[in-house]
Structure 1
């Protein structure tokens, strides 16, 4: 049965999410607004929950244009009841759809648990499935308990707080549908978003955000952004070697590893505490044989020239992910070292701050004009250059000494820049391809 969903998405992720639902879910009626993507799909809910670029998943109940609330509280309640609550039969049908989808998730989870216990008796599976559906049907028949979570912006937010609107909407649902208010442990949660352009009502289908990956025991870069870096890489990342020279806890590599087969992943970082967390994440993700970790400086990458097919790197910045190195000073040399180990035809994907993005564009512009650029020498610790955290393929290793030669990059060509939000700040994902020096534009 075709169902209408919507997902929330971080700023800059809407286009990627819209493309993902079309490609992976064969979704129809795909529509996007800032922060949300709407779509229809008849895919099993388990497949829908595999979306990588979404934050939260909702069953859509109602979507319309902006509503205008009068100042009189009683009249405002009437408008909300008519505009947001609307037809009681529509709500009952959506509750049945919601409970059916919950049954799909429960059945799959229970079948997975039985497989782990190696209990393959079909009678047990059928009995569990029947019990699950009976409980769900009962929820659909009886008045469910609920609570309302409301967000508002624009003109309406000047007159009403989110808490006040939640109370007004909750009372309207209680009076119209006969549901029971339960603010602590409700069966259903009703999410309402009101702005100058939209009125959206939905029910979340999962307790946890889609962006919370089960294999990330230690959080680093947000998983949706890490996935976006992989998605924006022009190269198909199968049957190749992928490097993250500043891997932190391994978020970028683990996102890439989820969808790439027969690929060698190399993660490097000079901070052993970060590598220990990365190792735990790799183990939790079941990627121990595919993701190799090494302690070294990104300024002295111990790999042969042209050894890797793609470099994906979240360049540290900001209070949470900053490092001891002065990154604006180090960027030219860091870029040169990543360019060195990248093969011709390979791709470089960088997540950088606004400041570093502006500097990056200047470096690439100088490169296109074949201009020499002197950079300050960045101190590195040679003693960390060959400390391994796990085994790394030896045929890729080639330890290089530091050079005082002025840095001149002549083989990176900029492809595209994609702006994303990291919550409190914005960042840019830059993609480059490596070409022969003589192929660069003059």
Structure 2
């Protein structure tokens, strides 16, 4: 049966989520707006719950253009009853679909906590409303006030019972200057919550996006994260690519211990190896890995002792050194570090503008992966000559939100 669904997504993840639902679910009618992706699919719910780029999963009940509400609450209730609640038959049909999907989940071993009499009542379920409003409507009404008005309209129009503590259903409403969206969550917990992550690091959806944006699939490869932290990036990639081997490095023993616990919880002990080492001097031969995925630390929560803008050229040089020709480099960088990246990687356009770039001394740029006698530390590190890397070809740059700050995912191929 074709179902109308939608997922919420972090800022910058909407495009990737749209690609994922088309690829994994063969979804149709895929449309995206800020923070949400709508689609139709007949995939079983267990497959839908394996989406990696989504935050929460909803059964779509109603989607329309923006509505305007009068300042008078009584008049606003009439508009809400007509425009937000609408046809009672659609609510009943949607609830029946929701109930069938919940039974499907129960058969898969997922249990819902509810009172038995509520579980057996298919006509008057208990509910509560969670409303978010923005734009013009938010000037006249708070989200809490709108939730109460919408809740009373549903109660009067459908006969459903309000229960703010343990409802059978949670009705989610979004009212903005552009949209009126009503949906029912299909899962109690967000899709973005990973059961195998005992210690959280980089947000799981962003960590997944780093491997998804890699120009080439990572099966039958050796993949390195030289600053792995608790292992979020490696474990997300390991969930996607079953035939790859992963190596994580970090200088912080406590981080490696947390990474080891995450690896054990995910059942990936045989595929993910951890090593205490500095990303400044990676203990691997030239061209030893097929891909390097790295969330370069920045910000208060994930910063490290090194001055990253200063250290970035040397870090990039080491990553480029251990990467084989044809391999891929994927970096998550702050806006500041992204700007610094342009000064380090010498692209074709940069070649046209940087005086002397084409005639750089090869001691300053490592381009030959077969060379074994190139020193790790060159004179450029102690001189005023900028360290430029010419063997990395840009593939894609994607902006994502980390909540309080934004960042860019950069992808390169070594040529």
Q: Give TM-score, length-normalised by structure 2.
A: 0.90
- Once the two structures are TM-superposed, the CA of residue 410 in structure 1 deviates from its matched residue by 2.3
Aligned residue in 1 for 2:142:
161
Match of 1:140 among 122, 125, 128: 122
Q: How does 1:193-208 map to 2 (within 5 A)?
A: 193-208=174-189
> In structure 2, how many angstroms separate the alpha carbons of the residues matched to 1:357 and 1:426?
11
Does structure 1 residue 82 correspond to structure 2 residue 82?
A: yes
- Once the two structures are TM-superposed, the CA of residue 404 in structure 1 deviates from its matched residue by 3.8
Structure with the bigger percentage of helix: 1
Q: Is the 8 A contact 2:295 2:333 kept in 1?
A: yes
> In structure 1, how many angstroms separate the alpha carbons of the residues matched to 2:395 and 2:107?
45
Aligned residue in 2 for 1:67:
67
Q: Is the 8 A contact 1:146 1:187 kept in 2?
A: yes
> In structure 2, how many angstroms separate the alpha carbons of the residues matched to 1:322 and 1:194?
38
- Once the two structures are TM-superposed, the CA of residue 413 in structure 1 deviates from its matched residue by 1.3
> In structure 2, how many angstroms separate the alpha carbons of the residues matched to 1:103 and 1:45?
11
Query: Measured at CA, do residues 185 and 401 of structure 1 come closer, stay the same or move farther in structure 2, by a change above 3 Å?
Result: farther
> In structure 2, how many angstroms separate the alpha carbons of the residues matched to 1:362 and 1:405?
18
Q: Is the 8 A contact 1:145 1:180 kept in 2?
A: yes
- Once the two structures are TM-superposed, the CA of residue 264 in structure 1 deviates from its matched residue by 1.2
Does structure 1 residue 106 correspond to structure 2 residue 86?
A: no
Does structure 1 residue 45 correspond to structure 2 residue 41?
A: no
SS in 1 for 2:344: helix
Does structure 1 residue 421 correspond to structure 2 residue 395?
A: no
> In structure 1, how many angstroms separate the alpha carbons of the residues matched to 2:187 and 2:303?
33
Aligned residue in 2 for 1:319:
300
Query: Measured at CA, do residues 399 and 201 of structure 1 come closer, stay the same or move farther in structure 2, by a change above 3 Å?
Result: farther
> In structure 1, how many angstroms separate the alpha carbons of the residues matched to 2:345 and 2:118?
58
Q: How does 1:242-257 map to 2 (within 5 A)?
A: 242-257=223-238
Match of 1:292 among 268, 273, 277: 273
Query: Measured at CA, do residues 146 and 73 of structure 1 come closer, stay the same or move farther in structure 2, by a change above 3 Å?
Result: same
Q: Is the 8 A contact 1:250 1:282 kept in 2?
A: yes
Q: Give TM-score, length-normalised by structure 1.
A: 0.85
- Once the two structures are TM-superposed, the CA of residue 414 in structure 1 deviates from its matched residue by 1.3
**4+ aligned runs moved over 6 Å, structure 1:** 134-137, 398-401
Query: Measured at CA, do residues 405 and 86 of structure 1 come closer, stay the same or move farther in structure 2, by a change above 3 Å?
Result: same
> In structure 1, how many angstroms separate the alpha carbons of the residues matched to 2:76 and 2:117?
37
Query: Measured at CA, do residues 399 and 97 of structure 1 come closer, stay the same or move farther in structure 2, by a change above 3 Å?
Result: farther
Q: Is the 8 A contact 2:335 2:408 kept in 1?
A: yes
Gaps of 5+ in 1: 114-131, 374-397, 436-442
Once the two structures are superposed, residues 217-249 of structure 1 have per-residue CA deviations (whole angstroms, 9 ceiling, x without a partner) of 000000100110000000110101000000000
Does structure 1 residue 359 correspond to structure 2 residue 333?
A: no
> In structure 1, how many angstroms separate the alpha carbons of the residues matched to 2:70 and 2:268?
57
Gaps of 5+ in 2: 362-371, 381-386
SS in 1 for 2:242: coil
CA RMSD of aligned residues (A): 2.0
